[in-house]
Amino acid sequence: MNNGMIVKKTLFPSPNPQVDLYEITYLSAGLRVKGMLAEPKREGKYDGFLYLRGGIKGVGMVRPARIAQFASHGFIVFAPYYRGNLGGEGNEDFAGDDREDAISGVDLLNQYHRVADHRIHVFGFSRGGVMALLTGIKRKDVISVVTWGGVSDMFLTYDERKDLRRMMKRVIGGSPNKVPERYVWRTPLYELEGLAAPVLIIHGEQDKNVSVEHAYRLEKRLKELEKRVTSHYFKEFTHYFPPRKNQQIVSMLCSWMKDQETVV
């Protein structure tokens, strides 16, 4: 089974004249899953950037402009849609088996001819934060992990987001009281011993979608384990940052990623 193998690649309209966009079908644990690839038009090899979206199904779907924005900073960006979305096989299960789609995304970037050797970064937004951390724990070849407004604790998400409880019970198979082990499995806080890559945490303190408590818990646990962690908290911002600030933070995190040392 060739995880990460691209089986179809179709040119997609790009919002940035310096960036080529493609819709990709790739292999993940035996399934054909869809995603989006963005690469600078300028020739050369670049760091790989795995972009892990938030939400579920149509909510929080990958946005071409966002992927192109990161690519314009000098990255080959791959963003899985996750299984079961936009014609992909299988069913998304909220950081369950669909984590394989992220892990196979690392394989895709490693195999891609324009990605520099041993230079793969993982970025997660919102629910993608859990996916990014789980990927970093599983894949020792990842050299940095960024979580922006990211979930770190599925028990806390269930507790805080009453509007998501029905979906979570359906997709995960019950509440945390009924099936606690399924929430433990989806919560990277319990496995951070296995994370080697440095972590950058970005979070708005007014975030009502994913409370800043997720970031505090992640930072605390990483420090307890003497892992490398850098945190930026923004008192005035929610889950979504104003465009100008967004651009500044994207530039900052892209520079931080490129500064990380190659692990061979």
Domains of the chain by residue range: 6-259
pLDDT of residue 263: 78
What pLDDT, in 10s, does the model give residues 129-140? 999 999 999 999
Burial class from Cβ neighbours inside 10 Å (0-12, 13-18, 19+) for residue 37 reads buried
77 φ/ψ angles, rounded to the nearest 5 degrees: -105, 130
Contact between 44 and 19 (Cβ < 8 Å): no
The mean pLDDT of 102-124, rounded to a whole number, is 98
Q: Is 6-259 CATH 3.40.50.620?
A: no
* Residue 264 clears pLDDT 80, i.e. is over it: no
Average pLDDT of the residues of the chain: 97
pLDDT of residue 58: 81
The mean pLDDT of 16-24, rounded to a whole number, is 98
pLDDT of residue 232: 98
Nearest to 252 by CA among 230, 221, 228: 230
174 φ/ψ angles, rounded to the nearest 5 degrees: 145, 180
As annotated, the active-site residues are: 126, 239
What pLDDT, in 10s, does the model give residues 179-190? 999 999 999 999
pLDDT of residue 47: 98
* Residue 1 clears pLDDT 80, i.e. is over it: no
What pLDDT, in 10s, does the model give residues 36-82? 999 999 999 999 999 999 988 888 899 999 999 999 999 999 999 99
Q: Are strands 75-80 and 46-52 parallel, antiparallel or unpaired?
A: parallel
